[in-house]
Amino acid sequence: MSDLAAFTVRSIPGSYGLPLIGNLMDRMDYFWLEGRDKFFQNRMAKYQSTVFRANVPASAPLFGGSDPRVIAIVDSAAFTTLFDISLVEKKDVLVGDYLPSLDYTGGMRVLAYLDPSEPQHSSIKSFLLDNLRRSAKTWVPDLQSSLEPLWSTLEKDVQEKGSAGVLLPLQKFLFSFLSKVLLGADPAVDPEIAKNGHFIIDKWLAPQLVPTVGTGGLIPYPLEELLLHSFPLPFAFVRGGYQKLYDFILNHAKDVLSIAINEYGLTEAQATHNLLYTLGFNAFGGFSIFLPSLISYIGKDPRLQERLRTEVRDVMNTHEGVSFNAVSEMELLSSTVYEALRINPPVAFQYGRARRDFILKSHDCSYGVQAGELLCGFQPLAMRDPKVFEAPEEFRADRFIKERGGEGLIQYVYWSNGPQTATPSVENKQCVAKDYVMATTRLILAELFMRYDSFQLDNDSSSTITFLKRRS
């Protein structure tokens, strides 16, 4: 007897509408009339269900005929299905049914597109996990040396211009730091890369992501639809920059490449393209979204800054210098980082294709899924699930601390494509840097509160600092 016959299950509500028209209407809602978050919220309310059918981008006919039809999942319990690799296949579904041109990744399917059942997934992921373990030794000094120019740029801009934009100096810092720890290469050895590496990555990321994101009204909708959401943007515009980054890795990451080739059996091209993707898309892309969001929550709350500053300095009084160990003792600081990842997860979507017919279980309901259907988990709602989190729409910095009984909630924080309590491995698709992202973010905040008493953000723009007070 099949799974489907063994249970009484609810059929999944929602409809894909008429061919082409249904998709077009959903696209208008998604990009224009409702916006991404409301698109999912409104359907959840309409169908009284946290699992429903909908069309999602990228889906114009010119996107290689990608199929917009998905089963959306917006609650915490059903979301875990997407981590069960025995139920869902993760081949080529990083951004849904749409696969950006492989020209962007050197003509090959890099790790993020591979299912764990493909042999290359194991060798590339093992190499990247090992690479992180090796760089752990220099992680803190590499972070500190890269942070120095960030702090001085912010201080100088605030002093001279009255305000400092955070994003560009932050990205410059990220590129420098990530090159050091992931490639073993300081961009300073190549002046053009040192100056422009972060811009080159931004230019390479944009055309891969643009088919699936809106401009938030920056461009009038019909124009946005025509120019950005109707056809894939050609790689030719960014080919030169990609080649420069490729050559930088080839010439300056020789030790790391040699480990990939000699110990993990990768070809030079596989190792280089995968390192570039990990550095640019996973690491630089992830942090570039996450850190500004985290800073905006802390920047708006002077009382939280005071509590964090006190905790950081108290813990540091008992340690020789900032370290992985020292920051792991900062409980409020850790909880603040979890909370920022919960309320605004940097990667909103996870996809997986049903390997077979199975029963999808939500909190109090079951649904029949057919083999081949594409599941689309929307993290921002799954991590605001009121059945798991009290006052889920509120940013509560101390939500996860022991004293509040919050430790048990950490398992429901899914930003890394897996529970925060799970471990990334070759058998799953969890972010290889799950623990390093946490540690790095804590370290950055600890450095911030060791150096500054407080900071303020512009009322209108959460990515502009208007006041920065050095430690008194």
Residue 128 is a binding residue for ligand HEM (CB under 6 A): yes
Among 88, 111, 330, 337, binds ligand HEM (CB under 6 A): 111
**Window of 41-49, 53-61, 320-328, 430-438 that interacts with ligand HEM by CB under 6 A:** 430-438
> Which x/- pattern, by CB under 6 A, does the window 171-210 give for ligand HEM?
-----------x----------------------------
- Pattern 363-402, ligand HEM, x by CB under 6 A: ----------------------------------------
Is residue 58 close enough to count as binding ligand HEM by CB under 6 A? Answer: no
Task: Kindly tell me which of 224 and 281 has the beta carbon lying closer to ligand HEM.
Answer: 281
158 or 248: whose CB is closer to ligand HEM? 248
Nearer to ligand HEM, 271 or 433 (CB): 433
290 binds ligand HEM (CB under 6 A): yes
Is residue 445 a contact point for ligand HEM (CB under 6 A)?
Answer: no
CB 77 within 8 A of CB 364: no
What is the Cα–Cα distance from 103 to 87, expressed in whole angstroms?
30
Cβ–Cβ < 8 Å for 429, 125 = no
**Applying CB under 6 A, does 94 fall inside the site for ligand HEM?**
yes
CB of 358 to ligand HEM, least distance (A): 20
- Tell which one of 56, 58, 60, 112 touches ligand HEM (CB under 6 A): 112
Question: Between 85 and 388, whose beta carbon lies closer to ligand HEM?
Answer: 85
The answer to whether 376 is annotated as binding is no
Query: Binding of ligand HEM at residue 87 (CB under 6 A)?
Result: no
User: Among 27, 69, 125, 180, which residue sits at the site for ligand HEM (rule: CB under 6 A)?
Assistant: 125
Which residues within the stretch 319-348 sit at the binding site for ligand HEM (CB under 6 A)?
346-347
Q: Report the residue number, 49 or 440, with the smaller CB distance to ligand HEM.
A: 440
Q: Can you give the binding site for ligand HEM, defined by CB under 6 A?
A: 94, 111-112, 125, 128, 132, 182, 278, 282-283, 286-287, 290, 346-347, 350, 415-417, 429, 431-433, 436-437
| Known binding residues | 431
| Known binding residues for heme | 431
